[in-house]
Amino acid sequence: MKSEAQRAHVVRYWWAQAHASLASARRELEAGVPTFAINRLYYAAFYGVSAALLDRQKAFRKHTGVRAAFHREFMKTGLLDVEWGKFYDQLFEDRHEGDYIALMTFDSAYVEQQLTRCTQFLERLRPLIASLADGHSP
C-alpha cells in the first residue's frame, strides 16, 4: 500500500483531473460538440468520485466498481443525497451512449444543465475528501 503522503498526492491528482475535465466539457459545449462534452462531464464526476474513494483507501480497476463503491460509501451511508447517485448513474449512461451508439447526440440545453449539476456535484463531494483539506487543490 502507498504511504499516506503518496495516497494524498494521488487523491489531489484525481481531483485536479476532475476539474480539468469539467473545464474541457465547457470548451466542448462552447465548440458545439455536446457529445464530447458529455464524455468529459462523466470523467469529471468519475475522477472526483475516484479521488473520494481513494481518500477512503478504496481503488477499483473498472468503472462499474467505482460506481458500486460510490453508492455504497456515500449514498447508503447518507453522506450524499441519493439524487447525486442518480446523477452519477445518468452521466455514466449518457457517456456510454455517446461513446458507443452511432449518430447519438445530446441537446445543448441538456448538456448545459448537466454541466451545472456536475459543478454542484463536485462542490458537494469536496468536503468529504480529507486529503483536500490542506487547500492545495481546485
Number of domains present in the structure of the chain = 1
Answer yes or no: is 71 within a domain: yes
* Ramachandran region, residue 137 (left: φ > 0; alpha: ψ -120 to 50; beta: rest): beta
Which H or E element spans position 6?
Answer: helix 4-30
Answer yes or no: is 69 within a domain: yes
Q: pTM to 2 decimals?
A: 0.94
Cell of 28: 466542448
Answer yes or no: is 138 within a domain: no
Question: How far is Cα 92 from Cα 89, in angstroms, rounded to an integer?
Answer: 5
CATH of the domain at 98: 1.20.120.330
With beta carbons less than 8 A apart as the criterion, state whether 104 and 97 touch: yes
> In terms of residue numbers, what domain contains 18?
4-132
Q: What is the pLDDT along the chain (138 residues), one digit of tens a residue?
A: 568 899 999 999 999 999 999 999 999 999 999 999 999 999 999 999 999 999 999 999 999 999 999 999 999 999 999 999 999 999 999 999 999 999 999 999 999 999 999 999 999 999 999 999 865 556
Residues 6+ apart with CB under 8 A from 100: none
What pLDDT is recorded for position 4?
Answer: 87
Question: Which is nearest to 27 in space by CA: 90, 117, 111, 138?
Answer: 111
What pLDDT is recorded for position 68?
Answer: 97
Question: How far is Cα 46 from Cα 97, in angstroms, rounded to an integer?
Answer: 16
Answer yes or no: is 137 within a domain: no
Answer yes or no: is 126 within a domain: yes
